[in-house]
Amino acid sequence: MSPPTGPRIEPGGARASARLQALNAASDAQDGLTRLTLTPAHRRALDMLGDFMREAGLAVRLDAAGTLVGRCEGPQADSKTLLIGSHIDSVRNAGSFDGPLGVVLGIEAMALLRARGVRLPFAVEILAFGDEEGVRFATTLTGSRALAGAFDPASLDSRDAQGVSRREALVAFGCDPDRIAHEARDPARTLGYVEVHIEQGPVLERRGLALGLVTAINGASRGEIAVTGEAGHSGTTPMAMRRDAGVAAAQIVLAVEEIARATPDLVATVGRIEIPHGAVNVVPGAARLSLDVRSPRDGDRLAAVEAIRARAQEIARSRGVGVTMDMSYDMPAAPCDPALTQALAQAAQRLGHADFRLPSGAGHDAMAFRGRLPLAMLFVRCRGGVSHRPDEYASPQDIESALAALTDFIEHLGAGS
Ligand SMILES: [Zn+2]
């Protein structure tokens, strides 16, 4: 099934696109968009979003972790709450869509439901998180982790390049870092967390689809492979007598690619290759490789890491070199909730979109809720799969499609609960 075609853009989608462009003015750079956490640009974006939220009938507050919360109350004091959010901080020289899209669409969906007089049987909160990209401080996801009850107070001590701590920046922003733990939501009273985000990859565009449902946010393993051979004179060391660490490393790179290609949805990358003391006339005596392995399934990822280790040892043995593999980072996958994802998929299908599922290769605020709340994500096609660049782009038509699906999802979740 192909998505609806034609240029018809509902006012909500057109307004969302216009608002995303307007938010570009909230930047700390003269040219282009740079909006780091807890900066004047962040403040200006919150002022604009606060206005959008109030216009949609939401009650607005800034929470202790710097998240702007727009709340629509439920019918009863003990009504459960649906969380919808994304982030509004950016990388340097960013695009307009990575993050703000999910916040603006949440607000527009609530505005649409309000205009149609829909009364939901639960409360909704639209969340504008301010700390996803991790550009200013080494730690990240402060806002979403706070809500998930997974906030690490040690991250208050992390400092930016100017020596300002997160604690100091939060206080200057009008937040109370000592109350962050109180922002944690009770899972028993929360329906789940939903995030709309541009795909930041080329899959939807390649398939001609406007929307996709995320199966899981990929887990990741990172580490280093060190190969030790024997350096020698490139002119005098016969080929058969070499223990060339560089050639062994090259073979390991090919093995990494082969293992990744044999595993569905798994990606593995050697992004850095170093030959210490490398020179044009020296047989490499050592080589160092970085390794990054990601998959929506932790079992596949860990099995791939072990397969790479075994192959690297095999290659090393056959070439008479030594090899060690040191995995320093292990982030488990954050699977999306099947029922919540199915509800989102059904909304998309009712609007004529295919039920297409894909994993998320990039991290998102949603992963903070792993194991704590049901989470679901809707991906929106972006041109060329480009992100973290000024030419990042999602069309008004696709934005309208995402808005319609999100609105329909919220309304039907209401009917079903
Ligand atoms: Zn993002």
pLDDT reading at 8 higher than 60? no
**Residue 142 CA to ligand 1 centre (angstroms):** 14
Does a structural domain hold residue 383? yes
Any idea which residue has 């791939």 for tokens? 304
Beta-bridged to residue 192, according to DSSP, are 82
Tell me what percent of the residues of the chain surpass a pLDDT of 70: 97
pLDDT reading at 108 higher than 90? yes
Domain end call among 287, 311, 331: 331
**Residue 196 CA to ligand 1 centre (angstroms):** 10
pLDDT reading at 65 higher than 60? yes
Looking at the fold, whether 162 and 73 belong to one and the same domain comes out as yes
**Residue 297 CA to ligand 1 centre (angstroms):** 21
Looking at the fold, whether 183 and 324 belong to one and the same domain comes out as no
Looking at the fold, whether 294 and 257 belong to one and the same domain comes out as yes
What average pLDDT does the chain have? 95
Does a structural domain hold residue 239? yes
Looking at the fold, whether 275 and 346 belong to one and the same domain comes out as no
pLDDT reading at 143 higher than 50? yes
Binned at pLDDT 50, 70 and 90, residue 138 comes out as confident
Does a structural domain hold residue 76? yes
* pLDDT tens-digit readout, 281-323: 999 999 999 999 999 999 999 999 999 999 999 999 999 999 9
Tell me what percent of the residues of the chain surpass a pLDDT of 90: 93
**Residue 223 CA to ligand 1 centre (angstroms):** 24
Question: What pLDDT sits at residue 13?
Answer: 85
**Residue 102 CA to ligand 1 centre (angstroms):** 9
Question: What pLDDT sits at residue 6?
Answer: 47
**Residue 415 CA to ligand 1 centre (angstroms):** 30
Does a structural domain hold residue 61? yes
Nearest-angstrom CA–CA distance, 4 and 121:
30
Nearest Cα to Cα of residue 319 among 258, 238, 249: 249
In this structure, what CATH number is given to the domain that contains residue 384?
3.40.630.10
* pLDDT tens-digit readout, 359-387: 999 999 999 999 999 999 999 999 999 99
**Residue 312 CA to ligand 1 centre (angstroms):** 35
Binned at pLDDT 50, 70 and 90, residue 119 comes out as very high
Distance between alpha carbon 50 and the CA centroid of its chain, in Å? 24
Q: Using DSSP bridges, classify how beta strands 123-129 and 211-217 pair: parallel, antiparallel or unpaired.
A: unpaired
pLDDT reading at 5 higher than 90? no
Average pLDDT for 201-217: 98
Q: What is the DSSP string of 126-142?
A: EEEES-SS-SSSSS--H
Work out how many domains the chain is built from and give that number: 2
Residue type, 309: R
CB under 8 Å to 345, separation ≥6 — which residues?
Answer: 213, 355, 357
Does a structural domain hold residue 257? yes
Binned at pLDDT 50, 70 and 90, residue 10 comes out as low
Average pLDDT for 347-362: 97
**Residue 310 CA to ligand 1 centre (angstroms):** 35
C-alpha distances in Å from residue 110, one per residue of 273, 348, 386: 49, 17, 29
Helix axis angle, 40-55 to 100-115, nearest 10°:
20
Binned at pLDDT 50, 70 and 90, residue 7 comes out as very low
Nearest-angstrom CA–CA distance, 328 and 346:
40
**Residue 229 CA to ligand 1 centre (angstroms):** 42
Domain end call among 331, 357, 382: 331
The number of helices, as runs of H, and strands, as runs of E, in the chain is 10, 16
Looking at the fold, whether 82 and 197 belong to one and the same domain comes out as yes
To the nearest 10°, the Cα dihedral for 358, 359, 362, 363? 130
Does a structural domain hold residue 357? yes
Q: Are 229 and 248 in contact (CB under 8 A)?
A: yes
Looking at the fold, whether 299 and 396 belong to one and the same domain comes out as no
pLDDT reading at 15 higher than 90? yes
Does a structural domain hold residue 278? yes
Does a structural domain hold residue 3? no
Looking at the fold, whether 273 and 258 belong to one and the same domain comes out as yes
The whole model's pTM is what?
0.89
Looking at the fold, whether 38 and 113 belong to one and the same domain comes out as yes
Range of the domain at 259: 223-331
Question: What pLDDT sits at residue 416?
Answer: 55
In this structure, what CATH number is given to the domain that contains residue 272?
3.30.70.360
Question: What pLDDT sits at residue 316?
Answer: 98
Average pLDDT for 202-221: 97
Looking at the fold, whether 204 and 137 belong to one and the same domain comes out as yes
Sign of CA dihedral 165, 171, 174, 177: positive
